[in-house]
Amino acid sequence: MRRPIIAGNWKMYKTIPEAVDFVRAFKSLVVGSTHCEIVIAPVFTAIKTVSDRLEGSNIEVAAQDAAADPGPGAFTGEVSASMIKDAGARWVIVGHSERRQYFGETDDTVSAKIHAVIGAGLSPIVCVGERLEDRDAGRAEQVVEGQLTGGMRNLTESEASRIIVAYEPVWAIGTGRTATPETAQQMHSFIRARLGSLFGAGVAGETRILYGGSVKPDNIVALMDQADIDGGLVGGASLEPDSFARIVNYKSASR
């Protein structure tokens, strides 16, 4: 049984006081939500405060990125995976399309970051996903396969089993245009098959594959109904306690 994960990516939003206000309101809205793991990814500067406020709760913390080098070292501006762990996070988002698009991250960078994150004892949430022109040209699977094999290379089976994959079609991120549940399911099933070829049926069967791209309270139920969708990576709709709690509590909405 793969336990679902609903993760919120706050991107470059929320000061520390704003993050604290969110946590105060959100905690009570999901206090009884035991059907899934709940993760919040604040900006680096708020990780420690948010982690402290969430101690003993059913909500965990992720960073949105980590340095490729395990460090410590002379890498001005970088934050290592061990430092992220020290601040209280358990997860790290790696290879988000905004990092690939605006900060030049490649599959090589993603691979190095995955190794650094796993090396620090944290779990990477590895993002893959095609751009609109790739999908329109019929090469969506080819692109995602390249990102998987390029990013997830030189990993043992046990290291690979620490990874969460997030399928985030770039054309659906922040656009309000969600992939249909069927389109998402098709790609998730493809990703699981590829994981099977890379790491064996055991890892493929156990890996949680999240969908990301304009997930909202009104589309989460249909997405979660799909056999290979094991959760969501949520951007915009994770910024308000009420909408994020409604996504987390999709189970009660589907009854």
Report the 10 Å Cβ neighbour count for 121: 11
Catalytic residues: 96, 168
In the DSSP assignment, the letter for residue 181 is H
Per CB under 6 A, the segment of 20-28, 37-45, 190-198, 212-220 that binds ligand PEP is: 212-220
Which residues ranging from 118 to 147 are in contact with ligand PEP (CB under 6 A)? Answer: none
Give SS3 for 170.
Answer: helix
Give the binding range for ligand PEP (CB under 6 A) out of 28-36, 76-84, 190-198, 231-239.
231-239
The structure tokens listed for 60 are 């965990």
Per CB under 6 A, the list member of 233, 245, 247, 248 interacting with ligand PEP is: 233
CB-based closest residue to ligand PEP? 235
Compute φ and ψ for 231, nearest 5 degrees. Answer: 150, -175
Closer to ligand PEP by Cβ: residue 143 or 169: 169
Q: Does residue number 9 form part of the binding site for ligand PEP (CB under 6 A)?
A: yes
Considering beta carbons, is residue 41 or 122 the nearer one to ligand PEP? 41
Among 128, 203, 223, residue whose Cα is nearest residue 167: 128
Sign of dihedral through CA atoms 180, 64, 143, 137? positive
Query: What are the helix and strand counts (H, E) for the chain?
Result: 13, 8
Judged by CB under 6 A, the residue of 121, 174, 202, 205 near ligand PEP is 174
Say whether residue 42 binds ligand PEP (CB under 6 A): no
User: What amino acid is encoded at 154 in this protein?
Assistant: N
**Residue of 236, 244, 246, 250 interacting with ligand PEP (CB under 6 A):** 236
64 binds ligand PEP (CB under 6 A): no
Q: How big, in percent rounded to 5, are the helix, strand and coil portions of the chain?
A: 45, 15, 40
**Residues at the interface with ligand PEP (CB under 6 A):** 9, 11, 168, 173-174, 212-215, 233-237
